[in-house]
A and B are shown apart, each in its own frame.
Chain A
């Protein structure tokens, strides 16, 4: 569906069903150079199991109008405005990679809008290797190849897709190619520049899931420890590591990501009860 946020058209995928009043909402934020389509399997499940689903193409990505936001803080403010526009109530906000930083910052800035938080494939800070950052500017093909090399577990590099007949690394490359020039560079630059992760984590009060993949070389499970330690003791924090998947875990292990999110939501039923 199309919404208008800050005067600009925004495309939001809703999991194949129309959203209805009185339901909790799953909001999924994609990563750098991506769009809503990285979340389709998980979205469809939630949409048929009592949830509203809101999966935006971030500004300047996919079918959403620009301008692209150039910092995590701006993106978080934009997500806050999106939640207002959509009129979400109880919300599980989840983000992947860059989207996880956006989700984290959104939860810190708008605690009343976020009931549950899930950070998938996340670390903070999230420095981008200089050769990759440079390649996103000067040689997109090279950047896409580097991202694919680091984003997929060795098993996925040669296939064995969980989705019959699909060549996952090629899908990812085409998706990145589909975005406009400069989009990936600005996204990566926003990740690289974001320094507010620990401060944001300290402000988060809602139950939070840190979901990693054992073979993730972009955001390895071990690297999330400093961020995990930045959350306050009163924040219910859960950690889950998915085996045999890399950074592109929603595609490599879609069922495991779905179960991680679903079980997390189920563990905090009072948080997702729709507010009167």
Chain B
């Protein structure tokens, strides 16, 4: 059941979590560049440590600038609260380690960002947490992969690299039937285009480095709790949340807060002990970006549509992968779950293979050649010569890409200039392949 929003998304993106500083009357969110906070008295200090009073103790655990960012994303996403982390990877790690330890199991979409795949597929097994990867759109495979030790279902709103659209309502039902939470990485959609919690997900994570910041100057991650999972009713699957924790005053987090137990444990254990907190400077910079999130996402979508329209007609382009196209297998899902657009990231394949791809990239002037997405500036990468350069043509195909695949992150520039730049690269690639 979605949470009622107190205001529209654009208003929340500007105001949620912050009122003008009552002391200095600052309109902008102040940057609280402090490690720690002065206690009023010994009693006040003890009360803060024992969670008898609300407030800040140490910026690894909470910080006033970060708190504004946390409230803002929670308000936008329809969550009960959030935690700001050092990166999207830190947010994902915090979520997983809050929910399970050694012996835990995750069912995850096969269509994940490479960093998430590395964490789940290679790193976490060293710590006794295994993952079964399943095709994003195969509901039966998700269901079949659930084991008695499964503790989480995880996917991305729009997958990588094929832009698979996650059927969140169906997966949420599968998760509910199994008494498990569903976590969605909503980095590529942001709350402007989709709020997974409204569709039934329980936890949302963002790499705030991407569209939320938008400027490409700050790494950050956000973890949002939907407050819509009943940990007490999960038949003992989540002892970290439903049994006393000696590491924090013997607190039973679900008893303390039936609604926000997950966030409470994540902050009181994971953020405290693993320490992947966000710098308040980064929080400030991400907040600055979020103020214009709605406007930017509109332009990202509009520009992506313009580029896709141009590329599908280009004779040197073999195919374009974009969920809004009739040719994409998830077109119907995208229409239903992403009615305002599918963001600004898409891929297309050149005729001419690996050489054509690298020549295309070198022919671009406006697009920046780098490994990121969601920047205000347009970005391009040729996976076969960079992120996937060790892979054979066959292995690339198995990963859903070809030797000529280019991934674009459409920025906010004038669309005609971007089209002119693409044509420049396409001309160079075509010439090199002739």
Residues of A within 8 A of B (CB): 13, 16, 35, 37, 40-42, 44-45, 48, 62-63, 141, 144-145, 148-149, 155, 157-167, 169-171, 173-175, 177-178, 254-255, 258
> Which of B64-72, B370-378, B393-401 forms contacts with chain A?
B64-72
B74 touches A167 (CB 8 A): yes
Whether B62 sits at the interface, judged by CB under 8 Å, is: yes
A195 to B141, CA, bound (A): 59
User: Given contacts A158-B7, A173-B3, is CB(A37)–CB(B54) below 8 Å?
Assistant: no
Question: For chain B residues 230-256, which have a beta carbon within 8 Å of chain A?
Answer: 230, 232, 249-251, 255-256
Whether B296 sits at the interface, judged by CB under 8 Å, is: no
> Which of B44-52, B297-305, B411-419 forms contacts with chain A?
B44-52
> Which of B16-24, B203-211, B329-337 forms contacts with chain A?
B16-24
The answer, among B3, B17, B232, B257, for a CB contact under 8 Å with A160, is: B17
* Nearest CB on A from B60, distance (A): 12
Number of interface residues of B (CB under 8 A): 53
Q: Across chains A and B, which 4 residue pairs bring their CB atoms closest together, nearest first?
A: A165-B70, A45-B52, A164-B62, A159-B17
Whether B4 sits at the interface, judged by CB under 8 Å, is: yes
B3 touches A254 (CB 8 A): no
> Which of B258-266, B313-321, B347-355 forms contacts with chain A?
B258-266
When distances are taken between beta carbons in the complex, the residues of chain A under 8 Å from B257 are: 37, 40
User: Given contacts A37-B256, A164-B56, A177-B1, is CB(A170)–CB(B62) below 8 Å?
Assistant: no
B256 touches A255 (CB 8 A): no
B227 touches A170 (CB 8 A): yes
User: Given contacts A160-B19, A163-B54, is CB(A170)–CB(B255) below 8 Å?
Assistant: no
A255 to B55, CA, bound (A): 10
Question: For chain B residues 17-46, which have a beta carbon within 8 Å of chain A?
Answer: 17-19, 46
User: Given contacts A158-B12, A166-B81, is CB(A44)–CB(B71) below 8 Å?
Assistant: no
A175 touches B259 (CB 8 A): yes
User: Given contacts A16-B250, A159-B18, is CB(A254)–CB(B54) below 8 Å?
Assistant: yes
Whether B137 sits at the interface, judged by CB under 8 Å, is: no
User: Given contacts A158-B7, A159-B16, A167-B79, is CB(A62)–CB(B53) below 8 Å?
Assistant: no
User: Given contacts A161-B67, A164-B56, A165-B81, is CB(A144)–CB(B51) below 8 Å?
Assistant: no
* Nearest CB on B from A164, distance (A): 4
User: Given contacts A158-B15, A160-B17, is CB(A45)–CB(B260) below 8 Å?
Assistant: no
A170 touches B53 (CB 8 A): no
When distances are taken between beta carbons in the complex, the residues of chain B under 8 Å from A161 are: 17, 67, 71
26 contacts between A and B (CB under 8 A): A13-B255, A16-B50, A16-B249, A16-B251, A35-B258, A40-B257, A41-B51, A48-B52, A141-B1, A144-B4, A157-B6, A158-B17, A159-B16, A159-B19, A162-B55, A165-B62, A165-B71, A166-B80, A167-B71, A167-B74, A167-B79, A167-B82, A170-B3, A170-B78, A171-B227, A177-B228
A41 to B55, CA, bound (A): 11
A16 to B62, CA, bound (A): 22
Whether B267 sits at the interface, judged by CB under 8 Å, is: yes
With both beta carbons as reference points, the residue of chain A lying nearest to B226 in the complex is identified as A174
* Nearest CB on A from B5, distance (A): 9
Whether B286 sits at the interface, judged by CB under 8 Å, is: no
User: Given contacts A171-B259, A174-B228, is CB(A155)–CB(B67) below 8 Å?
Assistant: no
When distances are taken between beta carbons in the complex, the residues of chain B under 8 Å from A16 are: 50, 249-251, 256
When distances are taken between beta carbons in the complex, the residues of chain B under 8 Å from A37 are: 256-259
Whether B112 sits at the interface, judged by CB under 8 Å, is: no
Whether B83 sits at the interface, judged by CB under 8 Å, is: yes
The answer, among A42, A149, A171, for a CB contact under 8 Å with B260, is: A171
Whether B75 sits at the interface, judged by CB under 8 Å, is: yes
User: Given contacts A158-B12, A160-B18, is CB(A165)–CB(B54) below 8 Å?
Assistant: no
A254 touches B81 (CB 8 A): no
A44 touches B6 (CB 8 A): no
User: Given contacts A171-B80, A174-B3, is CB(A162)–CB(B227) below 8 Å?
Assistant: no
User: Given contacts A164-B70, A175-B259, is CB(A41)–CB(B18) below 8 Å?
Assistant: no
When distances are taken between beta carbons in the complex, the residues of chain A under 8 Å from B15 are: 158-159
Question: For chain B residues 79-108, which have a beta carbon within 8 Å of chain A?
Answer: 79-84
Besides A159-B16, A167-B79, 8 new A-B residue pairs in contact (Cβ under 8 A), listed by A number: A16-B250, A37-B258, A48-B52, A165-B263, A167-B74, A167-B80, A170-B78, A173-B3
When distances are taken between beta carbons in the complex, the residues of chain A under 8 Å from B78 are: 170
- Interface core residue of A40, A160, A163, A164 (most chain B CB under 10 Å): A164
A170 touches B80 (CB 8 A): yes
User: Given contacts A40-B256, A171-B81, is CB(A159)–CB(B71) below 8 Å?
Assistant: yes
* Nearest CB on B from A75, distance (A): 21
A158 touches B16 (CB 8 A): yes
* Nearest CB on B from A163, distance (A): 5
A165 touches B82 (CB 8 A): yes
User: Given contacts A159-B17, A165-B67, A173-B4, is CB(A63)–CB(B56) below 8 Å?
Assistant: no
A174 touches B259 (CB 8 A): yes
The answer, among B4, B54, B64, for a CB contact under 8 Å with A41, is: B54
* Nearest CB on B from A248, distance (A): 13
The answer, among B1, B4, B67, B227, for a CB contact under 8 Å with A148, is: B4
With both beta carbons as reference points, the residue of chain B lying nearest to A35 in the complex is identified as B258
* Nearest CB on A from B3, distance (A): 5
A44 touches B67 (CB 8 A): no
A167 touches B53 (CB 8 A): no
User: Given contacts A16-B256, A159-B72, A165-B83, is CB(A44)–CB(B227) below 8 Å?
Assistant: no
When distances are taken between beta carbons in the complex, the residues of chain A under 8 Å from B16 are: 158-159, 167
A160 to B69, CA, bound (A): 10
When distances are taken between beta carbons in the complex, the residues of chain A under 8 Å from B17 are: 158-161
A175 to B228, CA, bound (A): 9
A48 touches B230 (CB 8 A): no
User: Given contacts A45-B52, A165-B62, A166-B81, is CB(A155)–CB(B256) below 8 Å?
Assistant: no
When distances are taken between beta carbons in the complex, the residues of chain B under 8 Å from A174 are: 3, 80, 227-228, 259
